[in-house]
Amino acid sequence: METNKKFGTAPVFFTAISTILGAILFLRFGYAVGTLGFWGVISIIILGHLVTIPTALAISELATNKRVEGGGEYFIISRSFGLNIGSTIGITLFMSQAISVAFYVIAFTESFEFLFNWVASQFDFTLPRQAISLPAMVLLAFIILKKGANMGVKLLYLVVAILFISLTMFFLGKTGYAAEGSVGFSNLEFRNSSDFFIVFAIVFPAFTGMTAGVGLSGDLKNPAKSIPYGTILGTVSGMILYVLIAYKIAISASPGDMLENQLIMANIAIAGVVIIPLGLAASTISSALGSIMVAPRTLHALSKDGTFPLAKINRWLSFEKKGEPVNASMVTVIIAFAFVALGDINAVAEIISMFFMVTYGAICLISFLNHFGASPSYRPTFKSRWFISLTGFVVSVWVMFKINTSYAMLAFVIMLLLYIYISYKNKDRKGFQAIFANSIYQLNRNLHTYVKKQQQKGKYSEWRPSAICISQYTFERNQVLQLLSWISYKYGFGTYLHLIEGYYSKATKTKADTDINKITQMYKGLNSSIFIDTIISPSYTSAIAQAIQLPGISGMENNMVLLDFDKKTGQNLDKVVDNLALIHAGNFDICILGSSEQVSDFKKEIHVWIRAGDYENGNLMILLSFIILGHPDWHRSTIKIFNICDPNQEKEAKAELEEMVLTGRLPINANNIIIIPRQENISSKKIINEHSVTAGLTIVGFREEMVKRKKEEYFLGYDNIGSILFVNSLDRKDLS
């Protein structure tokens, strides 16, 4: 309800900045400066913010495109990538946030080091850290479970004020080391570069708090305003402060002191013995507050989307009282208590950092894909840049593996298993097709334009098939569609048009829609690059005239027309012959398949027959046999080339074919090149019928002038063999 939207921009900023300036700042930043030097730490800050700044900009952009509801980062990811992958990342994100509560509470106990030391010296007893961390966790649980986020935000203001005072006293502090003036801006160092990524792994979690405020999205009056302003301001402020703090530490203490004293800032600040532990307590408890407010809202949003397997669990977790996710908060508190009780979660914290990195990478990837996809519905009022988002995504993944390759792989494996399980349980939910579909469309559009321009410039001379096939007998015989799939599998592209004869009308359009669905279901297993569609036209001739004027679907212009007829009955052969001149007028290669009822045996050979007058056709016939052989259906087959020549030209013909095979690097054994001398009174058809009776596919050339003279008779008479492919090449193809 709108009455529950109670927060403005300030809570987003304070939640982010208090999490950024957290335990790492007070406990590990001096160690980082001592190990790497000022410039080494500056390099860490720059590298870390190559992730966090793009993520902050991406979140700001996404938050101003659509209404961001409860769940923060989870809501953004799930509404962009789909609920299944969104839930996968959301679960890991929730666990990261919940365990982060424990991490900050344990770090909070370090501010009571004076107490632990006093007990040890006075009573010779080592007080366990849980003596402080568990009561602190109880107090946090009470605040969240009884008072809700509103009370948490009020306390947040208090601890941020303490944090501000602590940092002010730190910057105003002076040391004897600084008074000596031995270190200035001119002689600051970058040392121990080999330890860079070890230290980076320790320091990087300090930068991961910039999205903490986004988790309050469901409680914000105006998320589209508060999330960008609060997140970006928190990120930039944190970066500037870290640079200034690094410089202050570098000029105020020796490297040895930095490495020996984890609270080196206490030696620098005015009244540091009190103010720095107080600042540490404030920063860690504020970070814990931020996490304990955000984590339940992520879990609450997950349950409202029905992520978990049982409806009862989803209903219980989605229960809220006065706008507060009560049960989700209870689960968060229980998880946090469990890890606080363990007392040491350094190894777990590294895994958690991996999941945060996955989240940041996913957000940057969403922003990049939306930029690249150029969807008209993507209209954010705040805009980042595609290259910034891409940088954030790439660096996120790279940093994961640099921090810990094993943990990075483990994070991906866990997420993969979660995704498989969630997808199995929620088969009805769509994945991330939409956002990728826009990107693929845009990439396809750009590639098409590029290829077209290169063709117009004449830069592409290499031939590859881009075939278009028109048939109205799709449901009677499938051999021509199968042939098109062989040709298009690896080296080319095919467009299959199912012809519906008639004029365009509501009735024929309805039939076309029905037929295309039926064809798609029938042939969805075809392993090739075929685009299947329908064409409504009054006649076969008009359909061909329309089809040969269509632009190539692949971006490359269509260069081949594939037609078919029934070899046994001659069905459709007369129409094929009548339209050859029309196709020739468009400068296309022509393939005509004589379909046989005999089932092709793909283990058998592909026979290529070269006859006198096949100078133009020969290379294309051989090239097509090689292309067809590349399909998995033919992986056990071989190509055999037959040449019918004059008796006195046998050696020359064989040598020419062997040279052609060698130059073209074709997988044809010399023993499979067979020269047959022409004999008087024995026709080529008879020879082909005798030698190719067992062939899986026979390929024969034809010339236009011969078809004009003999008409349909030219293609008939091959009764002893199976399917036969007649080929007419527009020009001689280059096999080299």
Give the pLDDT confidence of 81-109 residue by residue, as tens digits: 677 778 888 888 888 788 878 878 887 78
β-partners of residue 50 are: none
C-alpha span between 173 and 194 (Å, rounded): 32
Give yes or no for a contact between 606 and 628, defined as CB atoms under 8 angstroms apart. yes
pLDDT on residue 444: 64
> Among the listed ranges 317-321, 503-507, 600-604, which one has the minimum average pLDDT value?
600-604
pLDDT score at 660:
76
The whole-angstrom separation of Cα 403 and Cα 686 is 73
SS3 label, residue 375: coil
Distance CA 645, CA 654 (A): 10
Q: How far, in Å, CA of 262 to CA of 34, rounded?
A: 11
Question: How does 684-694 read in b/e, with b if 16+ C-beta sit within 10 Å?
Answer: eeebbbebbee
CA distance 678 to 650: 10
- Residues paired with residue 566 on neighbouring β-strands, in sequence order: 595
Q: What is the mean pLDDT of the chain?
A: 81
- 231-263 exposure pattern, b = at least 16 Cβ within 10 A, e = fewer: bbbbbebbbebbeebbbbbbbbbebebbeeebb
Report if pTM > 0.95. Answer: no
Q: Is the distance from CB of 340 to CB of 34 less than 8 angstroms?
A: no
Question: Which tokens go with 148?
Answer: 């809700």
Q: To which residue do tokens 């105020």 refer?
A: 252
Contacting residues for 126 by C-beta, under 8 A, at least 6 apart: 116, 119, 120
Burial bucket for residue 649 (CB in 10 Å: 0-12, 13-18, 19+): middle
Distance of CA 135 to the CA centre of its chain: 45
The conformation of residue 551, written as its DSSP 8-state character, comes to P
Closest CA to 687 of 584, 625, 634, 612: 612
Confidence of residue 496 (pLDDT cuts 50, 70, 90): very high
Phi first, then psi, for residue 560 (nearest 5°) are: -145, 140
pLDDT higher at 6 or 732 = 732
Can you tell me the distance from the alpha carbon of 94 to that of 308, in angstroms, rounded to the nearest whole number?
13
Q: In this predicted model, what pLDDT tens digit does every residue of 51-71 receive, in sequence order?
A: 888 988 887 787 777 666 666
In this model, does residue 440 exceed pLDDT 80? no
* 283 SS3 class: helix
Planar angle of CA 508, 514, 519, nearest 5 degrees: 120
Angle between helix 148-172 and 223-252 (nearest 10)? 30
Residue range 648-702, pLDDT digits in tens: 888 888 888 888 777 766 778 788 888 898 888 888 899 999 999 889 899 999 9
As a whole-number percent, the residues of the chain with pLDDT over 90 amount to 20
The token pair that represents 255 in the structure block? 């490297």
- Judged against a pLDDT cut of 50, whether residue 1 lies above it is answered with no
pLDDT score of 3: 44
The identity of residue 364, as a single letter, is C
User: At 182, phi and psi to the nearest 5?
Assistant: -70, -20
What's the order of all strands across the beta sheet hosting 697-701? 530-537, 493-501, 466-471, 560-566, 589-595, 724-728, 697-701, 606-610, 639-645, 673-677
Mean pLDDT of the region 383-408: 87
Task: Report whether 324 contacts 333 (CB < 8 A).
Answer: no
Maximum average pLDDT range among 167-181, 558-572, 645-659, 664-678 = 558-572
